[in-house]
Homo-oligomer: A and B are copies of this chain.
Amino acid sequence: MAKQLRIGMVGYGFMGRTHSNAYRRVPNFFNLEYTPVLKAVCARDAEKAKAFADQWGYESIESDWRKLVERSDIDAIDICTPNNLHKDIALAAAANGKMILCEKPLSMNVAEGEEMCEAVEKAKVLNTVWYNYRRVPAVTYAKQLIDEGKLGRIFHYRANFLQDWTISADLPQGGAALWRLDAAAAGSGVTGDLLAHCIDTAIWLNGGISTVNAMTETFVKERKHTLTGKVEKVGIDDACAFLCRFDNGSLGLFESTRYARGHKALYTFEINGEHASIKWDLHDLHRLQWFDHRTPGPLRAWSSIHVTDGDHPYMDHWWVPGLQIGYEHTFVHQVADFLEGVAKGESTGPTFRDALETQKVCDAVLNSAKEMAWKNI
């Protein structure tokens, strides 16, 4: 009989759906000691919380997260709110001895993040941050190849996260649907929303970043604010690009924007090593591009690995070779790994502490852009 991990979730938006789906699916596909149980979902709007609970099978609802984190029938708090609430909820959850699964980015800034790290470490509660792209099987496989030393010395790392959904100047900012455009709720624009993913993956695959030099731009300077009804200055970065150097001596180049016409959610990265190179992109997330210089001369080529075989990471849990899984499965994998961690009493990466490293780079990037100068991490 499986042990229960009783979940209380704060938030019911897009991320609420991806997490809820993950909790529900994991027992069907993974045989684990722990099974998630959906105890409660919390949202200020009780009606919406109720509808969400019905859709996903949560046993109860709360309209005040302070109550949720105090409930004794809950083991873990899942934070799916806008970024400006992460810290307070996390601190309260830790104070109540709850495990925490927090949406990314960890916090509004490094100072908040440090407080959060200290809180979970002091409370000794298991914690993780939903940088879900680490658990795309192709990305996990890239990590394996790197860890096996197949690339040799690394020369270059480049990553992009390109979208095009905010080009229209008629799009408002703020409110439940568009809080990501509101600096007060999101902290930053593409830097925290998109580049944070790229940075988390990069640090995981290629180690620490030591210094950055960035440029940001806000193409649409004013937008109507959903909450006030007034046209207000846009405080977020619409686009951000930065140069950097990694601790291992390799050079990095990162770019993110919501103004790249034609790209819906094109997260791509490429790593060039002495012996081999890797490329990946989210629009075909089930593929990994691989080049190995050790292949005999005339046969040397980029290959496109269809990461759907039983010997690829996580794939023995799904279907048969050739049959794709998708975006949502990354969350299932993270839940599965987190539950394994629970069984062992260990946090599963990326932990709050790991995510703080990403936060440090994000802050340095924003500072660099502001001051037009290189910034060390």
Report A's interface with B, CB cutoff 8 A: 14, 18, 20-21, 24-25, 27-28, 31, 55-57, 141, 155-156, 158, 162-165, 167, 213-215, 217, 219, 239, 241-243, 245, 251, 253, 255, 257, 259-266, 272-277, 282-286, 290-293, 297-306, 308-309, 311-312, 318-329, 372-374
Contact = CB atoms under 8 A, between A and B. Distances in A.
A215 B215 CA distance: 14
B290 A322 contact: no
Main secondary structure of the interface of A (DSSP, over half): mixed
B303 A303 contact: yes
A301 B290 contact: yes
A239 B277 contact: no
B301 A305 contact: yes
Given A215-B251, A283-B322, A301 B303 contact: yes
Contact of A326 (B158, B164, B329): B329
Contacts of A158: 255
Contacts of A282: 322-323
A249 to B, nearest CB: 8
B261 A141 contact: no
Contact of A302 (B24, B162, B303): B303
Contacts of A325: 326-328
A-B pairs, top 5 by smallest CB distance, nearest first, are A264-B322, A265-B322, A262-B291, A303-B303, A301-B303
A106 to B, nearest CB: 22
Nearest to A319: B327
30 contacts: A28-B57, A31-B55, A214-B243, A215-B243, A241-B243, A253-B255, A259-B272, A260-B277, A261-B276, A261-B293, A262-B276, A263-B322, A264-B306, A264-B322, A265-B321, A265-B322, A283-B306, A285-B324, A286-B326, A290-B299, A290-B301, A298-B305, A301-B304, A302-B304, A319-B327, A323-B327, A324-B324, A324-B326, A325-B327, A372-B374
